[in-house]
Amino acid sequence: MEVTIPQGTFRGARVGDVLTFKGIPYAAAPVGALRFAAPEPPVPHEGVHDATRYGPTVSTPPQRSAVIDALLPDPVRPGRNGLNLNIWTPGTVGSRPVLVWIHGGGFATGAGSTTAFDGSAFARSGVVVVTINYRLAVEGFLLLPDQVANRGLLDQLAALDWVRANIASFGGDPERVTVAGESAGAMSVLTLLAMPRSEGLIRRAISQSGDGHHVHTAEVASIVTRELGIELDLEPTAASLDTVPVETLHQATNTVIGRLSAGKDPRFAPFTRLVLQPVIDGDTLPRHPVEAARAGASSTVDLLLGWNGQEYGLFSAPTGLADTMTDEMLHGTVARLGVDAGAVIAAYREHLPAAGPADLFVAIQSDWFCRVPSIRYAEARHAAGSSAYVYEFAWQPGTFDGRLGACHTIEIPFVFDTLADPWGKQLRGADAPQALADVVHSTWVRFIAGGDPGWPVYDDGRRVRRIETESVTVTDPDAYRRRIWEQRL
């Protein structure tokens, strides 16, 4: 099957009743003068471009945790242009809703060609799916004095521009585009809604285990730039960084991330988790995403957002931290959040009297990182007169002696209906319920197609859909968690 657009002709493949087109460049290769520059339009080609295989992945530092890398491996696909996308469609004739998926990975790792993101089930449900790669780590998110900020986000916008201009040729409706993502991908989604350049590109948005809080001020972002320059013993500009071998740059990046996030130097107190992330630069991102939402930015965009019940279970049970966490370690990890650790831990212990240090670690970190900021974003939308649908994914597997919980990433194969895929299977187990995947997948399809997932919006009633084998809509679930952080976050 071939499709011709102004960029050129692409040959896809038919897999059962789904057409796939993979590795399509949506921007010029970010090499040479473009390595640290804003993305440029893709270079047209002559002849027929083979789009039957995934394209190159963006070069990124390796996962800093070998355990997480083994559980959730990133594909590595060498090549020149990592700014490419993949499409799954029922057919090229018609005008169907579109889902654009932005992968997570802490703004430093990840790929749109991860096999669990296969869009075949969505295509069979009548949705055209697009997954993208974007620049990460230093290339995508380091603030540089001689280049534009937020290059990774600008890549995402370039992909959305490409979708708007070309998706009709692949059977999609450019007026019904839903942008979705998980973790850093979800943070990207909510940040994109605050960027003026996104206007008119997004009809609906889905944020899975993300929030609008993970952005740096330019002052804080400059600390990262300075420390990388010190580590490499050079002036940290795009021109000088371009002379550094890729492996050396990756090694230095990981060293700086470790140093700034270790919690051992008071100069680096602002860096609690994500060292590289979007920057409020006054231009590409004029203001904080939550402030933008409160002021009514993207109020016409339908929004579905939520979290998993025990996000930090991913970083506790599989890594062995669940067995080694002590009260002293717990106090240290909470203190790094910039709060009175004793008071916060005591407040949680009041409501969770049987919880040990590891359980409290998971609860506190999960709420600080995702649950409460997501609630804040929904409340900011509500204050501006727009709405959001909120969920909590609560299904818990029996893996890791039942200590994993509804952890970070575990909902993804339920959303994509890819439970058979090996990615993350050690987390969810071989017997993860297909019936729940049917429900979750169809719920996402319903929202993508019509903007209503099937439960009431989050408003003064604070209604949240708790998704598990028997899903229910609840009012202000675990309200104590929200209250604990009211004056602290």
pLDDT at 281: 96
Residues 155 and 287 in one domain: yes
pLDDT at 308: 98
Closest CA to 422 of 116, 117, 131: 116
Tens digit of each residue's pLDDT (9 = 90 or more) over 111-168: 999 999 999 999 999 999 999 999 999 999 999 999 999 999 999 999 999 999 999 9
> Contact at 8 Å (CB) between 211 and 370?
yes
pLDDT at 487: 81
The CA distance from 36 to 135, in Å, is 9
Tens digit of each residue's pLDDT (9 = 90 or more) over 364-402: 999 999 999 999 999 999 999 999 999 999 999 999 999
> Contact at 8 Å (CB) between 442 and 124?
no
Q: What are phi and psi of 338, to 5 degrees?
A: 80, 30
The CA distance from 436 to 438, in Å, is 5
Please state the domain count of the chain. 3
Single-letter amino acid code for the residue at 377: Y
pLDDT mean over 428-435: 97
CATH number, residue 192: 3.40.50.1820
The burial of 176, by beta-carbon neighbours within 10 Å (0-12 exposed, 13-18 middle, 19 or more buried), is given as buried
Residues 314 and 388 in one domain: yes
pLDDT at 269: 83
pLDDT over 80 (residue 245): yes
Q: Active-site residues: which are they?
A: 183, 311, 408
Residues 430 and 453 in one domain: yes
Tens digit of each residue's pLDDT (9 = 90 or more) over 171-222: 999 999 999 999 999 999 999 999 999 999 999 999 999 999 999 999 999 9
Assessment of whether the complete model's pTM goes beyond 0.95? yes
Q: What are phi and psi of 236, to 5 degrees?
A: -80, 75
| Integer angstrom CA distances of residue 140 from 170, 277, 418, 470 | 28, 9, 29, 41
Residues 145 and 294 in one domain: yes
Residues 101 and 238 in one domain: no
Q: What are phi and psi of 50, to 5 degrees?
A: -75, 110
In a domain, 489, yes or no: no
**For helices 327-335 and 357-366, angle between their N-to-C axes, nearest 10 degrees:** 10
pLDDT tier, 262 (very low <50, low <70, confident <90, very high otherwise): confident
Instruction: Report residue 398 CA to chain centroid gap.
Output: 26
pLDDT over 80 (residue 489): no
Residues 404 and 454 in one domain: yes
> Contact at 8 Å (CB) between 42 and 162?
yes
Tens digit of each residue's pLDDT (9 = 90 or more) over 461-483: 999 999 999 999 999 999 999 99
Residues 285 and 380 in one domain: no
In sequence order, what are the residues at sequence separation of 6 or more whose Cβ sits closer than 8 angstroms to the Cβ of residue 340? none
Closest CA to 487 of 401, 410, 376, 332: 376
Domain that holds residue 152: 2-217+277-300
